[in-house]
Amino acid sequence: MTITITAFERSPDGGMGLARDTRVRWALEEAGQPYEVRPVSFAAMKEPAHLAVHPFGQIPTYEEGDLVLFESGAIILHIATRHPGLLPQDANARARAIAWMFAAVNTVEPPILEIVTAKFTEGDKPWSKDRMPLIADRIRHRLGQLATRLGDAEWLDGAFSAGDLMMVSVLLRTRPSGILNEFPSLAAYVVRGEARPAYKRAFAAQLAFNTAQPAAG
């Protein structure tokens, strides 16, 4: 069955790979699964046809035969459950890898997304400039805890897993602010993720996709 995912018609990052379709592309590449991409414009994301697929009007979504999924975490877990390469065989190790997936999206990503929220929805407010250092400190607090746990290990818990895929994807969002590079071991961890052939293929695909789309009319 053909797998179809959705992505921004033109990603706000211009192809830096920070939009959430990249992490799903990466998982599909790790699993060796071909896929098609349906672009969605910002206008179309708010329309009933897309809301029927994604109730919160976001990307990515995942369609495979009768199955329609949203939420990148759920999509990646679905891929990881169906195909080898993204989750350990041992039941306990598998549960721990899934814990890192949830930690990435529920504990590490929220303070990182505060920067986006602050810029796009409160960028014109008088407190905008003074709040940024507070948000940055909250991100540093989380990254410091993560760096302590990672130590000098290659991946978070044994072999590379969907937990690392998600954590690297989330951490990538802290590179533009410079915060990632304040934590050399995490920066190196992200580079290890980016060096995986599957990531390289996913990144190249989203870049080609974003640069091939016509300018918004």
Interface pick for a second copy out of 34, 120, 121, 124 (rule CB under 8 A): 121
Does residue number 117 form part of the binding site for a second copy (CB under 8 A)? yes
Among residues 74, 70, 68, 73, the alpha carbon closest in space to that of 58 is found at 70
**3-state DSSP of 72-93:** HHHHHHHHHHHCCCCCCCCHHH
How far is it, in rounded angstroms, from Cα 205 to Cα 208?
5
How far is it, in rounded angstroms, from Cα 196 to Cα 56?
31
Residue with Cβ nearer a second copy (22 or 210): 22
Does residue number 95 form part of the binding site for a second copy (CB under 8 A)? yes
Residue with Cβ nearer a second copy (71 or 182): 71
Does residue number 37 form part of the binding site for a second copy (CB under 8 A)? no
Contacts of 156 (CB under 8 A, 6+ apart): 100, 149, 150, 163, 164, 167
Of residues 144 through 173, those in contact with a second copy by CB under 8 A are: 145-146, 148-149
Contacts of 97 (CB under 8 A, 6+ apart): 87, 88, 157, 161, 162, 163
**Least gap, CB of 106 to a second copy (angstroms):** 4
3-state DSSP call for residue 107?
A: helix
Interface pick for a second copy out of 96, 140, 175, 201 (rule CB under 8 A): 96
Does residue number 89 form part of the binding site for a second copy (CB under 8 A)? no
Does residue number 107 form part of the binding site for a second copy (CB under 8 A)? yes
**Tokens at 112, concatenated:** 């990182």
Interface pick for a second copy out of 99, 159, 188, 208 (rule CB under 8 A): 99
Residue with Cβ nearer a second copy (67 or 208): 67
Interface pick for a second copy out of 34, 126, 133, 214 (rule CB under 8 A): 126
| H or E segment to which residue 5 belongs | strand 3-8
Does residue number 3 form part of the binding site for a second copy (CB under 8 A)? no
Does residue number 36 form part of the binding site for a second copy (CB under 8 A)? no
The end-to-end CA distance of the chain, in Å, is 34
The residue type of 162 is A
**Least gap, CB of 142 to a second copy (angstroms):** 7
* CA angle, residues 18, 24, 30, in degrees to nearest 5: 115
Q: Which residues bind a second copy (CB under 8 A)?
A: 51, 55-58, 66-75, 77-78, 92, 95-96, 98-99, 101-103, 105-107, 109-110, 113-114, 117, 121-122, 125-127, 130-131, 134, 138, 142, 145-146, 148-149
